[in-house]
Amino acid sequence: MRVLFASSEMFPVVKTGGLGDVTFSLPHAISDLGVDVRVALPAYRSVLEEVEGLRVAGWLPLASGEEVRILSARHSAIEVPLWLVDAPSLFDRVGQPYTDPHGHDWGDNARRFSVFSEACAMLADDRLGIDWRADVVHANDWQTGLLPAFCALLPTPPRTLFTVHNLAYDCQVDFRTFNELGLPTYWWSMEFGEFYGRLSMLKCGLVFSDLITTVSPRYAQEIRTSEFGYGYAPVLDRYADKLVGVLNGIDDKTWDPATDTFLEAHYHAAGKIRSGKRANRTALLAAMGASTEAPATDGPLIGSVGRLVYQKGIDLLLDAIPNLLASSDARFVFVGSGDREIEQRLLALTHAHPQRVFAHLGYSERLAHLVEAGCDLFAMPSRYEPCGLNQMYSLRYGTPPVVRDTGGLADTVIDASPRTLARQEANGFVFEEATAEALQAALERAFELFRNPKQWMKMIKIGMRSDYGWRRSAEQYLLLYRGE
Ligand code: ADP
Ligand code: GLC
């Protein structure tokens, strides 16, 4: 079986969030099952700088008028073949995959990813003439929403899967832009890609694909409701029989406290948990600029890593912190960036409590790993969370997550209650309402258990010993690729 996996990001060459992690791990896990899987990425400038062994695989003339070059490339961490869709006027730029250096969406995003998607369909159909034709095309999020649609135009269409990693981002274009993109006119109809007077690239993915997957079973249910559906619930209802939730895994080689190269000290479920976590906590606090003169505290250290956006509910945590600082000896560490307003509020808290609230506003792989290892608890109060990877990292690192009962968080975290503790099932803390009060109450419950070291150690070992690897999910995808 031959699979073309098309994505707009892939760790470690380009990543803005979990999609980059998944695009790295899933194709490798599928390839381990004996499938010939190849990944296609846009040739962003930053990617061209990261990879080696660039070779021109051929040229693809596209119906949209663009001519793109396909490069094959290598990277020491990537073991599956990598194709880069090279269209310098669209991708060879200074900035992020979707935003310019000022943080604004690129004005021509629709064109950039329409061209990328069309090129991927041509690759799948062996228009390079290299005797490689895809049986299955796996597209991801709105950036490749048009790919199942372009595939449907091929004389022998491959089977297409469209994975929704986040329904809230869809990329809509107006009629003028739609015409400029030169897309088939019938795509602009309610039955296909038209969505409230615009063309939605996400909707094209939903409608034209043979199968829609999303990244957790709970999210697969949630997106059919008006609360989480972002207007797409009726569309998803209509296609309910081709919608499946498959839980993401984590890259358990990169995220392993026994070998993680970013850590100060290693530990594992069978040993050195206390000393290992203590050494990492010291390194983390030093890196965050905590004063070494400040009196040591045994209070819990709560960590947060991620995009500072509405989805993640960080504002709820910021609301809860003043009360928690007053009622406990907890401290907080943040690594992330995003909305200006949330960043400003966070900075104000760090200034008001310089030895108890710490923040690194930016992206740091090392700090992300140190937070997982050095903290006692990991806060993820997301309003919605299609899957979420950090809660699984933190489970593996002996740092119980405190999460809201939604999406992949609900599918991976089991709340500590007298019953689940007695049954040795509990691995974290779960709360219902998206309010600061509910989050505060969950954190207070966590602090209480934290003060019982024996019970605490028992609980963290449950998370550390669980398997969050990709194999099980990869096997599920394989069945879906085969249409079973
Ligand atoms: P999302 O994709 O919605 O952002 P996920 O939990 O699926 O959320 O994945 C986020 C990924 O990005 C994780 O690997 C996380 O560690 C990483 N990440 C997010 N923000 C940062 C940051 N500021 N520094 C380092 N890593 C980050
Ligand atoms: C999205 C979601 C996140 C998920 C990730 C990978 O960015 O927000 O919950 O884990 O994709 O599927």
- Atom nearest to 389 CA in ligand 2: 10
- Residues 187-210: what's their mean pLDDT? 98
Best residue for ligand 1 mutational test, from 26, 251, 335, 389 (most atoms within 8 Å of Cβ): 389
My answer on whether 99 and 216 are in the same domain is: yes
**Residue 165 is encoded by which pair of tokens?**
């990693």
Best residue for ligand 2 mutational test, from 223, 389, 470 (most atoms within 8 Å of Cβ): 389
Q: How far is the CA of 81 from the centre of ligand 1 (A)?
A: 25
Strand partners, 172: 200
Distance of CA 96 to the CA centre of its chain: 16
**Which domain range does residue 18 map to?**
2-249+471-481
Residues whose CB falls within 8 Å of the CB of residue 106, separated by 6 or more in sequence, listed in order: 93, 95, 98, 99, 100, 112
Distance of CA 451 to the CA centre of its chain: 33
My answer on whether 449 and 475 are in the same domain is: no
Q: What's the mean per-residue pLDDT of the chain?
A: 96
Contact 418, 431 (CB under 8 A): no
pLDDT digits (tens, 9 = 90+) for 83-104: 999 999 999 999 999 999 988 9
Domain membership flag for residue 289 = yes
Integer CA distances (angstroms), 117 to 30, 140, 183, 247, 324, in order = 22, 11, 12, 25, 48
Integer CA distances (angstroms), 365 to 16, 25, 254, 369, in order = 12, 17, 11, 6
pLDDT digits (tens, 9 = 90+) for 189-199: 999 999 999 99
Tally of domains within the chain = 2
Give the pLDDT score at 295: 57
Q: How far is the CA of 190 from the centre of ligand 1 (A)?
A: 35
pLDDT digits (tens, 9 = 90+) for 360-415: 999 999 999 999 999 999 999 999 999 999 999 999 999 999 999 999 999 999 99
My answer on whether 283 and 232 are in the same domain is: no
pLDDT digits (tens, 9 = 90+) for 268-291: 999 999 999 999 999 999 999 987
User: What is residue 267's DSSP assignment?
Assistant: -
Domain membership flag for residue 261 = no
Flag whether pLDDT at 241 surpasses 60: yes
The confidence band for 349, taking pLDDT boundaries of 50, 70 and 90, is very high
Question: Is 151 touching ligand 2 by the criterion CB < 6 Å?
Answer: no
Which ligand is closest to the CA of 333, given by its number? 1
Q: Which residue owns the Cα nearest ligand 1 atom 2?
A: 18
- Residues 436-453: what's their mean pLDDT? 98
Best residue for ligand 1 mutational test, from 8, 165, 215, 305 (most atoms within 8 Å of Cβ): 305
- Residues 183-212: what's their mean pLDDT? 98
Q: What is the total residue count of the chain?
A: 484
Residues 129 and 293: their CA atoms lie apart, in Å, by: 67
**Residue 371 is encoded by which pair of tokens?**
């937070």
- Residues 318-346: what's their mean pLDDT? 97
My answer on whether 8 and 125 are in the same domain is: yes
My answer on whether 284 and 412 are in the same domain is: yes
Q: How far is the CA of 119 from the centre of ligand 2 (A)?
A: 25
Q: How far is the CA of 18 from the centre of ligand 2 (A)?
A: 5
Give the pLDDT score at 296: 62
Q: How far is the CA of 447 from the centre of ligand 2 (A)?
A: 28
How many C-beta neighbours within 10 Å does residue 144 have? Answer: 28
Entry pTM: 0.96
Which residue reads 């890609």 in tokens?
Answer: 193
AA identity, residue 305: V
pLDDT digits (tens, 9 = 90+) for 26-45: 999 999 999 999 999 999 99
Domain membership flag for residue 388 = yes
Give the pLDDT score at 66: 87
Tell me, what CATH number does 112's domain have?
Answer: 3.40.50.2000
**Residue 334 is encoded by which pair of tokens?**
């943040």
Domain membership flag for residue 266 = no
29, 7, 1, 5: which is closest to 474 by C-alpha? Answer: 29
pLDDT digits (tens, 9 = 90+) for 140-177: 999 999 999 999 999 999 999 999 999 999 999 999 99
Flag whether pLDDT at 78 surpasses 60: yes
Give the pLDDT score at 381: 98
Residues 440 and 251: their CA atoms lie apart, in Å, by: 31
- Residues 426-443: what's their mean pLDDT? 98
Question: Which percentage of the chain shows pLDDT scores above 90?
Answer: 96
My answer on whether 18 and 123 are in the same domain is: yes
Give the pLDDT score at 21: 96
My answer on whether 426 and 281 are in the same domain is: yes
Residues 452 and 91: their CA atoms lie apart, in Å, by: 54
Strand partners, 75: 78
Question: Is 245 touching ligand 2 by the criterion CB < 6 Å?
Answer: no
Q: Which residues line ligand 1 (CB under 6 A)?
A: 17-18, 21, 305-307, 335-337, 363-365, 368, 387-390
Contact 162, 30 (CB under 8 A): no
One DSSP character per residue, 309-369 reads SGGGTHHHHHHHHHHHHHHS--EEEEEEEE-HHHHHHHHHHHHHSTTTEEEEES--HHHHH
My answer on whether 97 and 7 are in the same domain is: yes
Question: Which percentage of the chain shows pLDDT scores above 70?
Answer: 99
Residues 74 and 306: their CA atoms lie apart, in Å, by: 29
Q: Which residue owns the Cα nearest ligand 2 atom 1?
A: 165
Best residue for ligand 2 mutational test, from 387, 411, 413 (most atoms within 8 Å of Cβ): 387
Q: How far is the CA of 184 from the centre of ligand 2 (A)?
A: 31
- Residues 324-352: what's their mean pLDDT? 97
Residues 376 and 397: their CA atoms lie apart, in Å, by: 10
Give the pLDDT score at 484: 86
114, 96, 213, 231: which is closest to 173 by C-alpha? Answer: 114
Residues 458 and 421: their CA atoms lie apart, in Å, by: 9
Give the pLDDT score at 293: 62
Domain membership flag for residue 264 = no
Domain membership flag for residue 347 = yes
**Residue 274 is encoded by which pair of tokens?**
């206390």
Contact 202, 144 (CB under 8 A): no
Strand partners, 308: 338
Flag whether pLDDT at 322 surpasses 80: yes
308, 379, 299: which is closest to 337 by C-alpha? Answer: 308
Which ligand is closest to the CA of 411, given by its number? 2
My answer on whether 63 and 151 are in the same domain is: yes
Best residue for ligand 2 mutational test, from 8, 25, 165 (most atoms within 8 Å of Cβ): 165
- Atom nearest to 248 CA in ligand 1: 7
Give the pLDDT score at 355: 92
Name the percent of the chain in helix, strand, coil, to the closest 5.
Answer: 40, 20, 40
Domain membership flag for residue 259 = no
Phi then psi for residue 242, to 5 deg, are: -115, 20
Give the pLDDT score at 394: 98
The confidence band for 468, taking pLDDT boundaries of 50, 70 and 90, is very high
Q: How far is the CA of 169 from the centre of ligand 2 (A)?
A: 11
Q: How far is the CA of 120 from the centre of ligand 1 (A)?
A: 26
Domain membership flag for residue 385 = yes
What 410-419 contacts at long range (C-beta under 8 Å, 24+ apart), as own/partner pairs, is 410/216, 410/218, 411/216, 411/217, 411/218, 411/247, 411/387, 412/216, 412/247, 412/388, 412/468, 416/445, 416/446, 416/449, 416/459
Residues 137 and 393: their CA atoms lie apart, in Å, by: 29
Angle between helices 18-32 and 471-482 (to 10 degrees): 70
Give the pLDDT score at 294: 58
My answer on whether 201 and 291 are in the same domain is: no
Q: How far is the CA of 19 from the centre of ligand 1 (A)?
A: 9
Contact 408, 385 (CB under 8 A): yes
Q: How far is the CA of 307 from the centre of ligand 1 (A)?
A: 7
Contact 4, 136 (CB under 8 A): yes
My answer on whether 442 and 317 are in the same domain is: yes
- The 211-214 sheet, strands edge to edge: 52-61, 67-75, 78-86, 36-42, 2-6, 136-140, 159-164, 211-214, 243-245
My answer on whether 230 and 363 are in the same domain is: no
- Residues 3-8: what's their mean pLDDT? 98
